Structure 1
Amino acid sequence: MRVIVIGGGIVGTSAAYHLAKRGVSTTLVDASRTGQATAAGAGVVFPWPFPWDPPPMREFALQAAAHYPGLMRELAEDGQVTGYRVVGGISAGTDPGLLDRDLAVLRELRARPGYEGLGEIRRLPAGGPAELFPALADEHEGVFVEGMARVDGRRTRDALFNAAEERGLRYVKGDAELVAAGGRVTGVLAGGEELPADAVVVAAGAWSAELLRPFRVDLPVYPMRGQIVHAALPGARTRDWPVVRFPEEGKYLLALPPDRVVLSGTREPWAGFDHRATVGGVLRVLSDAVALAPALGEATVAETRVGFRPASRDDLQLLGPVRALSGAVVATGLGAVGLTYGPYQGAVAARLALGEDPGSDLSMFRPDRVAPAPGTPPKRTAPVDRPSSRR
């Protein structure tokens, strides 16, 4: 069987890896477009679902949580470097009631099957979060979760690609165009040649919709621009610092070795494919970070990244076959949680391309489902929005 994967981000390279590992003739086609979400992602990994998530998402997330560490071990044993590390995580804030509720929910979850990876969960008094993440303000209290992890999106993408290439993956750089006959995909035009295929995985992130548009398929995915800043703290040793989320503000901080801190990025659904770091966006990122972690005021701005997260119009991922085009499988729409769920989404897409059971109910995620009208992402209300995200 011949399978072509379109898209070289975390989802596409995962699909290619899982296919090549099984000996499937696999070709990865990627346009290497500026703004790939994987290259700009922060790297927070917390795949466990919460009680308020819809049932299909809970099932998918639990399977993703079980899949992640095993995949990272496989890649490490293969000599690949991913930047994956279980460093723990902290919910930090100044509202004791909110943190106590977080503690109760997490402890209740920890007692359920499938949540063993959460590890130790404990309450931190004022000043406790700053002991683990020294840049934080001393007034923050917190809840510590041992099993939370971080990952380097660029390194993981490259690790999956390299491991797949060692197993026979073919790579073609260039724009892709689906080829079909009789309502079935037959291949892909890319790099000046027509590549035949029995199945095609469309994992081109925010650009996926344009691949299906010629077949009158409206994928409910659009680009959500994210501006993210990396700061360097001279003299700091950040290798073991935990991931920090601020549930009151919907923000996060993530540390990378040897002395880098990733500042919570923007979410701009109105920006389209405008790949710019704007004054307003960077200002908001920096000011929010310093308010939460005053020591970052002395940090060096090391790098600014801009990426287009593939957001869906109804906030549900797109994963599954396309009714109007047999043999096509879509895997995208993870928005801001691509590095958390992308590796598993790619693995499931590989199964679907081979005609296998995906392992869970994906009906809610059908890529050709009815969703809000195209061109209607949230309207711009501020220079940078302030979402109340749990991650």
Structure 2
Amino acid sequence: MSIAIIGGGIIGTSIAYHLAHHGEKVTVIDDQRSGRATDAGAGIVCPWVTKRNKNTPGYELSTRGATYYETLQHQLEAEGFGNTGYKKVGTLAISTDDNYLSQLEDELLKEKERNPGIGTLERLSKEQTKERFPPLHEQYESLFVGGGARVDGRKLQLAMQQSAQKLGVKWVNGTAKVLSTKGEAPKLEVNGKYEMPSKVIFASGAWLEELQLPVRPKHKIRPQRGQIVHLKAHGEETSDWPIIQPESSYYILSFEDSRIVVGATREDGKGFTEQVTAGGLHEVLSVTSELIPGADQYEWLETRVGFRPISADNKPVLGPLDEEHTFYVANGFGATGLTMGPYAGKLLADLVHTNQAEMDLRAFYPDV
């Protein structure tokens, strides 16, 4: 069986990686779009600190995805491709509201019984919070969530790609055009040549609507623009600093080389406009100054612009497009793509290879 995957971001690469481990013949066709969510995403892996409804299949997919990271990281290391930027540094849920932190702690203590990946929970005073993240404003207390981790999306994608290629996956730089209609066998035109794979998986992120799919998912995918600022805190050893999650949708996380990442805007209706905007930059830097009073002295490194694929019903789209299970789609992961993506890729690869997965994916099927 030959399988073509259109899109080489985190989800497409994960599908290819896991299919390769199943011994499948796989070709990934990727046009290397700038603004890909994988390349721009900050890399927070901590789904438990959220105000979203937790009684949903999407939340279960997020928590399973976070837990799967350690398994994936160990496997990549064993294969010689462990440079992913993954590290379990923990998360500081910060607030000036003691009631909020108490309620969050109670909620996570109960949830930990079914989601042990949450890890250690520890209430920290203002002084203890600053000890964990020294430049943070002194007004914040926090709840430390030990299971929080961060990952470098670019490095992770490359690590899985290189491992997959070593297993025989073919990577093609180019554009795929779908020539099949509903009920027909797959036929693609790739860089002017015709390809006839057994199955096709569409994992093209926010650009899904540009493809002529033989069957359309029930809910359309739209791009949501995000602007994310990278700063350098010269002289600071930031590699072990925890993730900062305030009550808002903003966040701070740190990597090696004194790099601090702050984001992100959530801009709908902007299409695929890639420019860094004054308004977006002002929004992110204003939040940065509120959280880190001394950040105005940090060096600005870059501002990344990415396009999150958002489905019309705000849940992932994952599964077969047709009754014959010839065409599949993996999309709509929004701001949680780096949390869900590697595990969702494993699930879909298992479904394609064996027609079953360890998690019931029917809630994410394209026709639901």
> Where on the TM-score scale, by shorter chain, does this alignment land: which range?
over 0.9
Corresponding residue for residue 348 of structure 1: 347
Shift of residue 147 of structure 1? 1.3
Q: Is the Cα–Cα contact under 8 Å of residues 227 and 280 in structure 2 kept in the other structure?
A: yes
Shift of residue 63 of structure 1? 3.1
Shift of residue 120 of structure 1? 1.1
CA deviations on 1:327-346 (whole Å, 9 max, x unpaired) are: 11110101001111110111
Corresponding residue for residue 233 of structure 1: 233
Q: Does 1:190 align with 2:190?
A: yes
Q: Is the Cα–Cα contact under 8 Å of residues 2 and 197 in structure 1 kept in the other structure?
A: yes
Shift of residue 125 of structure 1? 1.0
CA deviations on 1:267-296 (whole Å, 9 max, x unpaired) are: 101111111110110111111111111121
In the TM superposition, what are the counterparts of 1:10-49 in structure 2 within 5 Å?
A: 10-48=10-48
Q: Does 1:3 align with 2:19?
A: no
Corresponding residue for residue 71 of structure 1: 72
Look up the SS of the partner of 2:239 in the other structure. coil
Q: Structure 1 residues 48, 184: closer, same or farther in 2, change over 3 A? A: farther
Amino acid at match of 2:103: R
In the TM superposition, what are the counterparts of 1:1-391 in structure 2 within 5 Å?
A: 1-48=1-48, 52-80=53-81, 81-110=83-112, 112-113=113-114, 115-180=115-180, 183-213=183-213, 215=215, 219-247=219-247, 249-323=248-322, 326-369=325-368
Q: Distance in 1 between matches of 2:122 and 2:205?
A: 37
Shift of residue 193 of structure 1? 1.2
Tell which deviates more after alignment, 343-352 or 154-163: 343-352
Q: Structure 1 residues 29, 284: closer, same or farther in 2, change over 3 A? A: same
Q: Distance in 1 between matches of 2:207 and 2:198?
A: 22
Q: Which runs of 5+ in 2 are unaligned?
A: none
Q: Which runs of 5+ in 1 are unaligned?
A: 370-391
Q: Structure 1 residues 205, 300: closer, same or farther in 2, change over 3 A? A: same
Q: Is the Cα–Cα contact under 8 Å of residues 224 and 272 in structure 1 kept in the other structure?
A: yes
Look up the SS of the partner of 2:129 in the other structure. helix
Q: Distance in 2 between matches of 1:209 and 1:54?
A: 29
Look up the SS of the partner of 2:126 in the other structure. coil
Q: Is the Cα–Cα contact under 8 Å of residues 45 and 149 in structure 1 kept in the other structure?
A: yes
Q: Is the Cα–Cα contact under 8 Å of residues 132 and 242 in structure 1 kept in the other structure?
A: yes
Look up the SS of the partner of 2:211 in the other structure. helix
Q: Is the Cα–Cα contact under 8 Å of residues 125 and 141 in structure 1 kept in the other structure?
A: yes
Q: Is the Cα–Cα contact under 8 Å of residues 124 and 144 in structure 1 kept in the other structure?
A: yes
Tell which deviates more after alignment, 40-49 or 28-37: 40-49
Q: Which runs of 4+ in 1 moved over 4 A?
A: 47-51, 212-219
Q: Is the Cα–Cα contact under 8 Å of residues 225 and 267 in structure 2 kept in the other structure?
A: yes
Q: Distance in 1 between matches of 2:105 and 2:179?
A: 52
- How many residue pairs match? The answer is 366
Q: Structure 1 residues 361, 49: closer, same or farther in 2, change over 3 A? A: farther
Amino acid at match of 2:154: R
TM-score (norm 1): 0.89
Look up the SS of the partner of 2:264 in the other structure. coil
Look up the SS of the partner of 1:142 in the other structure. strand
Identity of aligned residues (%): 38
Q: Is the Cα–Cα contact under 8 Å of residues 229 and 305 in structure 1 kept in the other structure?
A: yes
* Superposition RMSD in Å: 1.9
TM-score (norm 2): 0.94
Shift of residue 130 of structure 1? 1.5
Q: Distance in 1 between matches of 2:218 and 2:21?
A: 32
Q: Is the Cα–Cα contact under 8 Å of residues 47 and 64 in structure 1 kept in the other structure?
A: no
Amino acid at match of 2:85: G
Q: Distance in 1 between matches of 2:102 and 2:230?
A: 31
